[in-house]
Structure 1
Amino acid sequence: MNHPDTSVRFDEAAATITERSAVRTPTCGEALVTLLESYGVEYVFGIPGVHTVELYRGLAASSIQHVTPRHEQGAGFMADGYARVTGKPGVCFIITGPGMTNIATAMAQAYADSIPMLVISSVNARRELGSGDGRLHELPSQRDVFAGIAAFSHTLLDAAELPRVLARAFAVFESARPRPVHIEIPLDVIVAPADGMNMAPAILPVKPAAGANALAVAADLLADARRPLILAGGGAVHAAAELRELAEHLQAPVALTINAKGLLPCGHPLLIGSTQSLPDTRALVRDADVVLAVGTELGETDYDVVFDGGFAIRGQLIRIDIDAQQLMRNFRADLAITGDAQHAVSSISVRLHERPTPVAQPDWGAQRVEKVRRAVWASYDAPTRSQKRLIDTIAGALPGVIIAGDSTSPVYAGNFVYDPPGPRCWFNSSTGYGTLGYGLPAAIGAKLAALERPVVCLIGDGGIQFTLPELASAVEARVPVIVLLWNNLGYGEIRKYMAARDITPVGVDIYTPDFLKLAAGFGCEARRADTCESLAAELQQANSRDVPTVIEVVEAEWFARVPA
């Protein structure tokens, strides 16, 4: 993200902050808003409190829109959903103490899935830090609490530091492995004068390029491969065109993690899907003589959701990742390449085109992928196939839909069976940190990021009760998100898991309220569907409304009426 018009934007920023403050010296809080504008921030998610009101002093006069969740966890999940759709950081203003501990789960989910998020909080005045006096919202060391779930956590001790610290944050988002950044501003610093502050956005570094020698070696290995295979993760989400070109040139089967879904579109002959935890796909991976892993942790939540340790790579492994430390985790690479996925994949393709065309084994590529996909489909049980019809109905009724999911049965099924048409269209909290309650606020953030596209929250009756009040946030912000509520009357997946382990179910048969009445009480439209036809009709009607719609699907009724 370069800024060639820096001098012009500096003048504009200086003029803006002068207008807002009239003859008065602007505060650090006001300067923060202007700097965020200069970095292209569109939304701030937060709940104003006595310790953050000074962050809001310049907000009303800015171009930044504020969205008020009903819980700080919701603010973080909204920022997460916005970031997953746009690739830009979601920004939160969070109050000291309980506000920060409330958002911790959302930060941890974003950290696990490498999602850019900027959390700006207040903290007690400098002279009170670490005092233990029992002041309002006091933590012994707020920064230390959140350092473990952030790329960095910084206490702004001088207002003059603000431009440099923000530049560091946006450098992480633009040029490194994107993860949350936490900046806390003491109460006395928020109101400190910001005169003389450099208001120009920093010229950010580009993503690091991989070394030419390593790329040449990778090209040689792939050129000689008879059974090449590609594993791609969320770190390659911006390299869809390059990845597809390379896969087609090599005739290499491609398996995608959940956060990489859509890098190859639905129906592509080389697309295995996201079935790395299933036996037939694992056999294909073991048979590959060269495996190229791009932007993927090679971690449990994408490759071993059955938790049996059965995923194995026997061929030569080339790993490409922007995070050098990640290259040393999980699977040892024969060739480890640090650098941006888009640049690396493109460079390897260029080198391969300079060599004789690689020749894959005759029964490899699309032919083997087709066999694997047929075998995988045959292995699915009736509930999974029925839930595929649910997701296919969503995709068919709402072209271009973005589906933000929670940890719930149809999302688990969709992670295996659904192939979206493009990237950034399917994401959920069942990977990485694996929290409940994510889907609703994340869908709100996603809708704000793509107002012209339909956005569906796919969530269960247990998960929605974690963040149900965010329906009010959506109504208030005029965000017509569609909430597809899968109701199995409790924590159904955990109930089945307990029974499978011969544990008498306890704590899973929770009280289930009347969600349609609750939705109506929040100002939403409320409907029920139990067939593909009724669901399609309700989805299309919901997409034409300017208020959120909750569509309840009762699991038992769906399975009874929608055969596999």
Structure 2
Amino acid sequence: MNYPEFTASFEEAGARPMQWAHTTGQTCGEALVTLLEGYGVQYVFGIPGVHTVELYRGLAASSIRHVTPRHEQGAGFMADGYARVTGKPGVCFIITGPGMTNIATAMAQAYADSIPMLVISSVNARRELGNGDGRLHELPSQRDVFTGLTAFSHTLLDAAELPQVLARAFAVFGGARPRPVHIEIPLDVIVAPARGMNLMPVVLPARPAGCPAALAAAADLLATARRPLILAGGGALHAAAELQELAERLQAPVALTINAKGLLPPEHPLLLGSTQSLPPTRALAREADVVLAVGTELGETDYDVVFDGGFSIEGRLIRIDIDAQQLMRNFSPDVAIPADSRQALGSLSTRLHERIMSARQREWGAQRVALARQAVEAGYDAPTRSQKRLVDTITAALPHVIIAGDSTSPVYAGNFVHDAPQPRSWFNSSTGYGTLGYGLPAAIGAKLAAPDRPVVCLIGDGGLQFTLPELASAVEARVPVVVLLWNNFSYGEIRRYMTARDIVPVGVDIHTPDFLALARGFGCVAARVDTPDALAAELQQAVSRDIPTVVEVNEADWFARVPA
């Protein structure tokens, strides 16, 4: 995935006069805050601890706002939600040891979904590293634990290295496949003098535009295709205009991954939706003679959520991705283009501008999409259609809404049935790593990123119990998210999965608290609804408040009152 929004903010910061660390007492921790300001960081998520207080010495006087979660996992998910909406990295200050192991799940989710996240932690003093002395928060090697969850994990052994290491991190976010970066600073380095340190951001590397010969080969394949197909993923989020132009030029059906929803408008005649795991769309993919896959892993959670290995590409395959290694995973390409998706799609469209599409190609696109969509919709079962009413009610009541979802039944349904009106408006944790508890803190981060847009957290009763205390964080930070709780009093999806495999359900019928009483206890407004009209009315009231609102929907009541 690529994030030009981050580069734009950096360029604005780079216009400032050169700034140097003062020689009169400024520490490495204070210099860090100044550098983060220069890179355009607006928020830091974290829980102060005895090992990180020196990171906070310069924070109060800066322009950066600190948001305190109730658990470091919540900090990571807030940073993730902020990054998905803005395209800029979410930043966390995390305590040594347990703070880092607490945030590990959030880092793994961000790693799986290519989300930019900067995690800055403390670590024991340099002379104590790896000694096994049993010191507070000590791990044998904290950096080694997180190397596999990051683009890189670095121990800052000298304060003078700080500008260069931060530059490496922001180069990953702006010019490569964005993933979490971890920088740990020993306790004695945090307080070390920052004498003569350059506190301005550096010039970031340009994104690759793509090899001209490979682009020409791809254009030749697409120009002669009779049945072209485009598969677009989150790596194309910033390339909506270029994607739509090329699709219309080719009259190519477009299937979007879950993280790419919104790249084409919902009513666009070439939009297949996100149904690559369903038979009608898979049949269309097999018919395609040339497939262009851009910014997508072609991975299981977007193309094979039924886990049957049934998605296949039988035509020629062109792949575009910022990550050269990803081009070789899952499906081998006939043409591989390591490049920024916006530049590569724009180049392809320009190269195809003078070429005349065949009559067969013009007839293929919209007609074949309409047939596929009709077949997909005819196959939806009653619960899916009823949950579609839930999602449709949200989007009708709250135009321009951002929906941050958890791993819960209406989100699974929405991944198939919902077409977002614009990019960065629908995302959830059911893709990639697939964690529970993501939705609430991610929605908080999303609302901070887009304060003028309504933000709804769509979450189940099981997932909400993972991060329920973050309601207090939202109240404290005055972040008026709407938490739409789908309550089936169990881990319902896992119960159904066990039953389908003829396993007696064990461990899935969980005790469910009185969520409305808990929500009010945290300082939120709380209500229960069971019809689309009641839900719409409650949502419209909720977005006028300056505190969070929890709206509970009982699954059984909704299904009884909202027939498919």
Give me the whole-angstrom Cα distance separating, in 1, the residues matched to 2:188 and 2:11.
35
Q: Distance in 2 between matches of 1:111 and 1:362?
A: 39
Matches within 5 A, 1:379-458: 379-458=379-458
Give the conservation status (yes or no) of the 8 Å contact 1:251–1:360: no
The answer to whether the 8 A contact 2:250-2:361 is kept is no
* Distance (Å, rounded) in 2 between the aligned partners of 1:338 and 1:132: 44
Structure 2 SS opposite 1:353: coil
Structure 2 Cα separation of the partners of residues 305 and 6 of structure 1 = 42
CA distance in 2, matches of 1:219, 1:5: 36
Q: Relative to structure 2, which stretch is displaced further, 360-369 or 228-237?
A: 360-369
Partner amino acid, structure 2, of 1:541: Q
Aligned to 1:139: 139
Alignment of 1:357-376 (within 5 A): 357-361=357-361, 363-376=363-376
Code of the aligned partner of 1:163 = P
- Which residue pairs with 2:217 in the alignment? 217
**Residue 111 of structure 2: SS of its match in structure 1?**
helix
8 Å CA contact retained: 1:169, 1:181? yes
State how far apart, in whole Å, the 2-side matches of 1:223 and 1:363 are.
Answer: 15
Partner of 1:295: 295
2:4 is matched with which residue? none
C-alpha distance in structure 2 between counterparts of 1:135 and 1:144, whole Å: 18
Amino acid at match of 1:147: T
Letter in 1 for 2:519: A
> How do 1:165-204 and structure 2 match up within 5 A?
165-204=165-204
Task: Name the aligned partner's letter for residue 372 of structure 2.
Answer: V
Structure 1 position 24, deviation (Å): 3.5
Q: Which residue of 2 aligns with 1:49?
A: 49
Equivalent residue, structure 1, for 2:3 = none
Map 1:547-558 onto structure 2 (within 5 A).
Answer: 547-558=547-558
Counterpart-to-counterpart distance in 2, 1:366 and 1:334: 26
Q: Which runs of 4+ in 1 moved over 2 A?
A: 1-11, 354-363
Equivalent residue, structure 1, for 2:532: 532
DSSP 3-state at the match of 1:182: strand
Distance 1:190 1:209 in 2: 39
1:164 maps to what in 2? 164
TM value normalised by structure 1: 0.97
For residues 94-113 of structure 1, the aligned pairs below 5 Å read 94-113=94-113
Give the drift of 1:5: 7.3
C-alpha contact 2:80 2:115 (8 A) present in aligned 1: yes
Aligned partner of 1:9 among 13, 16, 36: 16
Alignment map for 1:56-75 (pairs within 5 Å): 56-75=56-75
Identity value in percent = 80
Give the 3 Å change call, closer, same or farther, for CA 537–187 of structure 1 in structure 2.
same
State the alpha-carbon separation in 2 of the partners of residues 422 and 68 from structure 1.
30
For residues 501-540 of structure 1, the aligned pairs below 5 Å read: 501-540=501-540
Alignment length (residue pairs): 557
For residues 416 and 35 of structure 1, the distance between their equivalents in structure 2, rounded to whole angstroms, comes to 42
| Counterpart code for 1:310 | G
3-state SS, counterpart of residue 149 of structure 2: coil
For 2:340, the equivalent position in structure 1 comes to 340
Stretches of structure 1 that go unaligned for 5 or more consecutive residues are: none
Q: By how many angstroms is 1:121 displaced? A: 0.2
Question: 1:205 matched to which residue of 2?
Answer: 205
- Deviations, residues 129-183 of structure 1 (Å, cap 9, x unaligned): 0000010000000000000000000000000000000000000000000000000
Match for 1:508: what amino acid?
Answer: V
TM-score by length of 2: 0.97
Higher mean alpha-carbon deviation, 140-149 vs 1-10, is at 1-10
Residue pair 2:251, 2:361 contacting (<8 A) in 1 also: no
CA contact (8 A) 1:250 1:359 kept: no
| 2:480 equivalent in structure 1 | 480
Contact 1:490 1:510 (8 Å CA) reproduced: yes
| C-alpha deviation, 1:208, in angstroms | 1.2
Question: Is the 1:250–1:360 Cα contact (8 Å) retained in structure 2?
Answer: no
* Shift in alpha-carbon separation, 1:492–1:551, aligned structure 2, 3 A: same
Partner of 2:16, secondary structure, is helix
Residue matched to 1:90 = 90
Counterpart-to-counterpart distance in 2, 1:51 and 1:4: 33
Contact 2:126 2:157 in 1 (8 A): yes
String of CA shifts for 1:44-66, please: whole Å, max 9, x gaps: 00000000000000000000000
Aligned counterparts of 2:190 and 2:403: Cα–Cα separation in 1: 38
Separation of aligned partners in 1, 2:397 and 2:367: 31
Alignment-derived partner of residue 151 in structure 1: 151
- Partners of 1:4 and 1:260 in 2: how far apart? 26
Look up the equivalent residue of 1:431 and give its one-letter code.
T
Q: Aligned equivalents of 1:326 and 1:80: distance in 2? A: 22
Cα distance 1:333–1:210, how it changes in 2: closer, same or farther (>3 A)? same
Alpha-carbon separation, structure 2, partners of 1:186 and 1:359:
66
Residues 83 and 117 in structure 1, CA contact (< 8 A), matched pair in contact too: yes
1:357 and 1:533 mapped to 2: Cα distance? 47
Q: Which whole-Å CA distance do the structure 1 matches of 2:196 and 2:472 have between them? A: 42
Instruction: String of CA shifts for 1:53-100, please: whole Å, max 9, x gaps.
Output: 000000000000000000000000000000000000000000000000
Helix, strand or coil at the partner of 1:272:
strand
Deviation at 1:4, TM superposition (A): 6.3
Compared CA separation, residues 517 and 4, structure 1 to 2 (3 A): closer
Distance 2:12 2:102 in 1: 39
Q: Distance in 2 between matches of 1:459 and 1:215?
A: 43
